[in-house]
């Protein structure tokens, strides 16, 4: 199913991105929002605060993309060079925009309420190239700027994520929808857990070659799960979705033993849907994951309907005094043991007054391991008032990945337990 494509490049500017001091979340958000309206992001790149490299990036990306979106370098300090560069690049001169100036004054006088006169560098935020269209930044002082050249659209946005997001949603997306005839981009996503990428690919070895050339299958592994995404493009969304249905159904059938959900959603959302449907509640008792599982669950809006709380029992005294883990259990088999996580679940069910509880205890590393219990040894328990099941993991990664893998495996273990015992 062929369609005309609208392509984009995203350029993020800042030395802090290149040295890893700041993680680039801006380009991910922009790409997601562009994809929703049918814009295909061809490239995402980061460049430092170097005049020549930014200029070169603009030249290169404009040769292959219809839309070039730039973030960063619009602040009031000397290292913010994007605005004067764009002014020269498009052959303009900097002028004071009265609407932006009024907005900057409003922010400092009414919103920020900072004492004393406004600094000259703050007032310069109202200067923009006279060859651009100003995009109103309701959340900050640096306006967005839109330029056109040879049928290409260049959009410069502040690098502050909160401000950038407001501009994308309120200014950029509405403009692009009016300026371009967008194709439809359709994704269908299935989540699997319990098998690695290579084993899932083996299950799909005959399926993938059978796909039409315009339908692409992507494997996206992460923390014990593999996301499978089918993507297709066309002129009409309804036609693209209709064509995708039989292929997506076949995909789900082939991986049914490991399928968690056929939506682009995490385990924390899946478990929430199950609990809400069954009118049940849950809680967590976390040791080695330190509240990370609770964080995942409560990141979902509306989770208070089924999630009551957590006991982060990092120390043995908390396991014993709050959750009621027996002292003799801790002395005889230790905190990282099947017996301990079972007692943690029972204590959580009692203390939190929930239908289901999930417990974790392990050695995340890099220190703390022994010959009997090396780094990566983890015990997980899930249960209700009648029954508690356990799972042992032997992980081999660094601390952060071990925590992530434990959380994923624990949530999936709980999911299976709820479905089997309710």
CA distances from 345 to 282, 322, 341, 365, 407 (A): 11, 12, 6, 24, 16
Q: Tokens 């690695």 correspond to what residue?
A: 196
For the chain, percent of residues with pLDDT exceeding 90: 89
Residues 6+ apart with CB under 8 A from 72: 12, 13, 14, 17, 26, 82, 158, 159
What per-residue confidence (pLDDT) applies to 2? 47
Is 224 a residue whose pLDDT tops 90? no
Closest to 227 measured CA to CA, from 278, 270, 289, 176: 270
In this predicted structure, the answer to whether residue 69 has a pLDDT above a threshold of 60 is yes
Share of the chain above pLDDT 70, in %: 98
| Contact partners, residue 370, CB within 8 Å, separation at least 6 | none
What is the average pLDDT across 400-415? Answer: 96
339-357: average pLDDT: 98
* 82-89 helix and 51-62 helix, angle to the nearest 10 degrees: 50
Lowest-pLDDT choice from 77-86, 183-192, 267-276? 77-86
| pLDDT for 269 beyond 50 | yes
CA distance 167 to 157: 7
Distance of alpha carbon 98 from alpha carbon 290, whole angstroms: 51
Q: Give the least confident one: 108-117, 266-275, 372-381.
A: 108-117
Find the angle CA(12)-CA(18)-CA(21) to the nearest 5 degrees.
Answer: 105
- Identify whether the C-beta of residue 313 lies closer than 8 Å to the C-beta of residue 320: no
Length of the chain, in residues? 422
Identify the band that residue 223 occupies on the pLDDT scale cut at 50, 70 and 90: confident
**Mean pLDDT over the full length of the chain:** 94
Q: Can you give the pLDDT at residue 45? A: 96
- pLDDT value of residue 420: 97
Residue 112: cis peptide before it, omega within 30 degrees of 0: no
Tokens of 370: 């022994």
Residue 200 · residue 226 · CB < 8 Å:
yes
3-class secondary structure, 382: strand
Q: Is the pLDDT of residue 119 over 80?
A: no
Name every residue whose Cβ is closer than 8 Å to that of residue 212 and which is 6 or more positions away in sequence.
1
Mean pLDDT of 124-134: 93
pLDDT tier at 114 (50, 70, 90 boundaries)? confident
Stretch 324-333: mean pLDDT? 98
**pLDDT given for residue 1 in this prediction:** 45
d(CA 234, CA 372): 57
Instruction: Give pLDDT, residue 3.
Output: 54
Among the listed residues 70, 395, 96, the one whose alpha carbon sits nearest the alpha carbon of residue 223: 395
* 105-117 mean pLDDT: 80
CA angle 236/62/147 to nearest 5° reads 90
Entry pTM: 0.82
Name the range with the highest mean pLDDT among 80-84, 114-118, 374-378: 374-378
Question: What is the pLDDT at residue 115?
Answer: 75
Lowest model confidence (mean pLDDT) among 77-81, 222-226, 291-295, 365-369: 77-81
Among 71-80, 114-123, 292-301, 332-341, which stretch is predicted with the lowest mean pLDDT? 114-123
Residue 359 CB burial class (10 angstroms; 0-12, 13-18, ≥19): buried
From 178, 173, 109, select the one nearest 135 (Cα to Cα).
173
With a cut of 90, say whether residue 123 has pLDDT above it: no
HEC string of 149-217 equals ECCEEEEEECCCHHHHHHHHHHHHHHHHHHHCCCCEEEEEEEEEECCCHHHHHHHCCCCHHHCCCCCEE
User: Vertex 216, ends 211 and 222: CA angle to 5°?
Assistant: 125
> Which domains does the chain carry?
6-179 (3.40.980.10), 184-261 (3.30.70.2860), 267-420 (3.90.950.20)
Listed in sequence order, the residues at least 6 apart from 172 whose beta carbon sits closer than 8 Å to its beta carbon are 33, 69, 135, 144, 155, 157
C-alpha dihedral, 244 to 250 to 256 to 258, nearest 10°: -60
What is the Rg, in whole angstroms, of the alpha carbon atoms belonging to the chain?
26
pLDDT digits (tens, 9 = 90+) for 7-36: 999 999 999 999 999 999 999 999 999 999
Which pLDDT tens digit goes with each residue over 191-215? Answer: 999 889 999 999 999 999 999 999 9
Cα(142)–Cα(133) distance, integer angstroms: 13
């Amino acid at each position: 199913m062929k369609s005309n494509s609208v392509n984009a490049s995203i350029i993020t500017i800042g030395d802090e991105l290149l040295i890893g001091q700041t993680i680039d979340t801006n380009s991910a958000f922009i790409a997601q929002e562009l994809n929703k309206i049918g814009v295909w992001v061809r490239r995402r790149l980061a460049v430092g605060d170097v005049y020549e490299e930014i200029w070169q990036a603009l030249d290169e990306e404009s040769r292959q993309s219809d839309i070039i979106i730039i973030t960063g370098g619009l602040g009031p300090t000397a290292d913010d060079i994007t605005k004067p560069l764009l002014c020269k690049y498009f052959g303009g001169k900097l002028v004071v925009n009265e609407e932006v100036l009024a907005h900057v004054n409003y922010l400092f006088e009414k919103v920020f309420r900072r004492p004393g006169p406004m600094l000259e560098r703050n007032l310069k935020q109202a200067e923009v190239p006279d060859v651009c269209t100003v995009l109103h930044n309701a959340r900050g002082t640096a306006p967005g700027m839109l330029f056109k050249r040879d049928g290409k659209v260049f959009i410069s946005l502040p690098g502050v994520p909160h401000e950038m997001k407001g501009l994308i949603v309120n200014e950029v997306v509405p403009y692009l929808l009016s300026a371009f005839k967008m194709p439809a981009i359709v994704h269908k996503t299935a989540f699997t857990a319990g098998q690695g990428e290579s084993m899932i690919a083996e299950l799909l070895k005959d399926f993938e070659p059978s796909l039409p050339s315009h339908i692409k299958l992507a494997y996206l592994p992460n923390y014990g799960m593999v996301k499978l995404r089918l993507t297709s493009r066309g002129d009409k969304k309804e036609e693209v979705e209709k064509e995708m249905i039989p292929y997506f159904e076949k995909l789900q059938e082939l991986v049914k033993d490991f399928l968690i959900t056929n939506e682009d959603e995490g385990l924390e959302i899946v478990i929430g849907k199950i609990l809400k449907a069954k009118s049940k509640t849950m809680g967590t008792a976390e040791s080695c994951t330190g509240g990370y599982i609770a964080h995942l669950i409560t990141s979902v809006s509306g989770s208070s309907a089924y999630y009551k709380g957590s006991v982060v029992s990092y120390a043995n005294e908390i396991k014993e005094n709050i959750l009621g883990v027996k002292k003799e259990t801790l002395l005889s088999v230790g905190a990282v043991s099947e017996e301990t996580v079972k007692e943690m679940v029972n204590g959580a069910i009692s203390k939190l007054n929930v239908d289901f509880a999930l417990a974790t205890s392990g050695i995340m590393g890099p220190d703390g391991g022994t010959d009997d219990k090396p780094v990566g040894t983890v015990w997980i328990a899930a249960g209700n008032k009648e029954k508690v099941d356990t799972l042992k993991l032997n992980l081999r990664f660094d601390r952060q990945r071990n925590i992530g893998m434990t959380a994923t495996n624990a949530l999936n273990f709980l999911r299976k337990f709820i479905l089997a015992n309710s």
